[in-house]
Amino acid sequence: MKSMLVTGTAGVLALAVSGVALAQPSSPTRAGVADPLDSPGIGTYDVLGGTREQLGALRAFNPAISVIFDGVYENTVSGELDEPAGFEGGHDHGHGGGGDDGLRLRETEVAFSGSVDSYFDAMAIFVVDGDHVEIEEAYIATSSLPAGLQVKAGKFLSDIGYINRQHPHQWDFVDRPLMSEFLFGDHGLQETGVQLSWVAPTPWYTRLGVEVLQGGGSAISGYEGSQTFEVNFLREDGAGGFERVRARGDSGLEDASGPRLFTAFAKVAPDLGFDHAAQFGVSGGYARSWQNAVEHSSARFETWDGDAWFAGVDMVYKYDAARSYGHGNWTVQGEYFYRVIDVDYRSRVFQDGALVATQQGDAADEFSGKAKQDGAYLQALYGIAPRWNVGARAEALGITNDSLEADRGENRFTSFGTSYRYALQTSFMPTEFSRIRLQANYADFADDNGGHGHGDAWTVMLQYNLSLGAHGAHAF
């Protein structure tokens, strides 16, 4: 609210200096329905009652620009940290820990946000990760639709679950939960599409939404499409030497035009009084195309082709002790998600310039099956002193762990055990713009042999997180 007052005052002074007379009303009024659990000052504003000069004054300081600095020192002090058996694709960009030991600038986030006019707001977030610049989010959202409706369009983090729509600097721990990282991808469910949400006129906060997404950008919606693959390999030439062979073959996968992924969510926040707040959610989705292709150096080629669906629940509870700087506050948060990927599997090898099915005995390596996997986490934070908090988190990944890894000898997919991880952290926040966090993880991951050979891995992380510039308040 303070930033709103500063902006409004500066706008009025600028107009007064230019000799422009302001018409009534002199300040914008709230429009649209804001989440009652959001921080004060969040919401949309109606400037239609004012003059064109008022609208120009409100836009004079747009867009708000912020830079988030996120650095980590990480060291696996004992054991060996590897991917949990039955899963792959995590830790691609260092968001989840598990990167190389030592110092690294994990990411630098540059955000632009503001009101375009009385009808639309806009947000663009760019992430500088090493030598790469990536668009993390870039979307527009309506600000004046009636009856609690809102439309969002562009690239954005989906509203499924709770932690999925949060950026790394919003996490209560250094790393993303295993469930989110390995079921949905190292960025979570992040796609290009359209979202329609509705805040229902109920006595308590109720928000319902659906999303139509392009698909192909996350672990739940893999997409390859029709393509030709080329391999180069050496084979014996019959004269005691080797010759280089170039072979080309079609993947056998079919094109599937977007959109390919559809999600829905519901969030309910009952009225628990002044000191307590809670939100409960349920969400799910369907990917009409799930494809993957792997090319091996041995000139063997594997494909998976089918569809997928997922469903889950989430909750968060917060207690405000009404003491200074978070002292005595509690936050408890948890999620559970389950996904099923139903695919046709094929294993082929390049022979005489073409792809032919590999064999196990008299049977071709082609079969159908379902990968059924899930994950959950539960975490709690407590403010032990002004500006200090401690937290604990427990995680399980693959409670059901029927993976997509093919057992070609049995013409079926392989099942693995459950992986676990536990974390303790303590954070110090000198101001609302900075945070220093120390965290220790203990990982007990299932291995490919049915045991926990990757277990007993201890990792220590020290993180700094700084915010420069105007950054909007986060959702509840």
**Span 29-81, pLDDT tens digits:** 444 444 444 443 333 334 334 455 555 555 555 789 999 999 999 999 988 88
Q: What is the per-residue pLDDT for 11?
A: 45
| Percent of residues, the chain, with pLDDT higher than 70 | 78
* 71 or 19, higher pLDDT: 71
Q: Is the per-residue pLDDT at 455 higher than 70?
A: no
Q: What is the per-residue pLDDT for 3?
A: 44
CB atoms within 10 A of CB 319: 17
Q: What is the per-residue pLDDT for 141?
A: 97
* 326 or 56, higher pLDDT: 326
Q: What is the per-residue pLDDT for 330?
A: 96
C-alpha 268/C-alpha 126 separation (Å) is 31
Q: Strands, DSSP E only, in 299-418?
A: 300-319, 330-351, 354-357, 359-360, 363-364, 366-385, 388-407, 412-415
Using one digit for the tens of pLDDT, what is the confidence trace for 337-389? Answer: 999 999 999 888 877 667 778 877 666 788 999 999 999 999 999 999 999 99
* 1 or 471, higher pLDDT: 471
Banded model confidence at residue 23, pLDDT cuts 50, 70, 90: very low
* 187 or 149, higher pLDDT: 149
